[in-house]
Structure 1
């Protein structure tokens, strides 16, 4: 990993047999798009094919794909998510990061085009994009990352939590609300539903993760320590 990558990518191993890559989006933009400060990500997208240095990390097809997004924020998040996968997969598979290519299932779930038995998951929020890659073949994994924002939970509670969940969370800290929310999102990614199923069909209760009212078996989960101001959750096949 070259010095510039060391400043923007952090690799770690998680319980459950996963490698986590954490990409600092602000550092990525500082390295490749210094004329656009991190706080200016709402600007229109740019022609990334003209950006010096990206071709060392991404294929021409990936740069072209990212250039197609209309907003700079989406371009940066997409590239950093791909960068996270490349770095984590390279660690697991002992291959060149640039040669790692990601494709998507019809419902939108990402997978490694040349190593489909090695499962991956991507998430981003705030200034960070993350990816997890399983160290065991044919074992599903999923990750969700959320930036903690003051005052956000009342709205999230209305759209994402059931009365049973809200009752259990009565008086709980914001950290516990975020922990359960990210577990809920990670589980939906785990079953490849993502945005295609209501968050209220998944309940994170004291007795476990429930889907359509039934306790889910055959999975494990964790909420490992991440960075201040963020909540990270992972779900994997037990």
Structure 2
């Protein structure tokens, strides 16, 4: 069962009210305020095991230096150039994160955009700043993330707007180092004293925000702030942003931000 809370947090005293979800590798739609959104999750160990069944569960996939996937073993829907890109990564972990993220996107396109193409028909590209998009459906906002054992893709099911998605495994972090690296003084005043899990959740919201504005880590972390009153970039409020965040079964945190119109950082 899917349970979630969503907030348009620009006018909310509380930034989020997460509730546990019980999700497995699948596609599902929901509404973020009035915006239709769909997610697809892939369990990376399951994908590895399907590619290399003779290796069992492949518990050690993260530590492998590199994987080679024979042509006939690739999941359906990957082009020659995509296969070459997969083999161009230097570590198995990065190979499988990338592959499973693209698998999730292609599943979304087939399921929710009614695209029955197979083979190399569903293309996924990246802008110069690394933002993924669909060349055949550029008007549909897209975001991809991975962390721990999961890869996830999200897509807005109406035209226009921008989307940012971040997934993180819920594991112990150096919150003091995170404070120095990522959070502004005002953010830390809000976060100080909160449980480590909620500090990590705030970090997922920041990463989702960086993807939302299409800048990734080209924008200094402290220049994008997630505060109880909303999101700020370069000290200026960014209007029209909606937030959704949740706990995922298996120990992951997932956050999603959506903005209408062109979300461009004020300068």
Q: Is TM-score (shorter-chain normalized) higher than 0.5?
A: yes
CA drift of 1:139 comes to 2.3
Root-mean-square deviation (CA), in Å? 1.8
Are positions 1:101 and 2:117 aligned together?
Answer: no
- Structure ranking higher on relative contact order (CA contacts 8 Å, 6+ apart): 2
What are the ranges of 5 or more consecutive residues in structure 1 without an aligned counterpart?
A: 1-7
Question: Compared with structure 1, are the counterparts of its residues 157 and 96 closer, same or farther at alpha carbon in structure 2 (3 Å cutoff)?
Answer: farther
Q: Which residue of 1 aligns with 2:38?
A: 19
Are positions 1:45 and 2:66 aligned together?
Answer: yes
Moved more, 145-154 or 198-207: 145-154
Question: Compared with structure 1, are the counterparts of its residues 225 and 149 closer, same or farther at alpha carbon in structure 2 (3 Å cutoff)?
Answer: closer
1:112-166 CA deviation, whole Å, 9 max, x = no partner?
0211111210000111000001100122211111111113323222211112111
The 2-side partners of 1:178 and 1:55 are apart by 33
TM-score for both structures, normalised by structure 1? 0.90
What are the ranges of 5 or more consecutive residues in structure 2 without an aligned counterpart?
A: 1-23, 261-267
Aligned length: 230
Q: Which residue of 1 aligns with 2:221?
A: 199
Residue 159 of structure 1: which of 173, 177, 181 is its match? Answer: 181
Alignment of 1:19-98 (within 5 A): 19-34=38-53, 35=55, 37-48=58-69, 50=70, 52-96=72-116, 98=118
The 2-side partners of 1:151 and 1:138 are apart by 36
CA drift of 1:63 comes to 1.3
Where has structure 1 moved over 6 Å in runs of 4 or more? none
3-state SS in 1 of match to 2:154? strand
TM-score for both structures, normalised by structure 2? 0.80
Alignment of 1:128-207 (within 5 A): 128-207=150-229
Question: Compared with structure 1, are the counterparts of its residues 97 and 190 closer, same or farther at alpha carbon in structure 2 (3 Å cutoff)?
Answer: farther
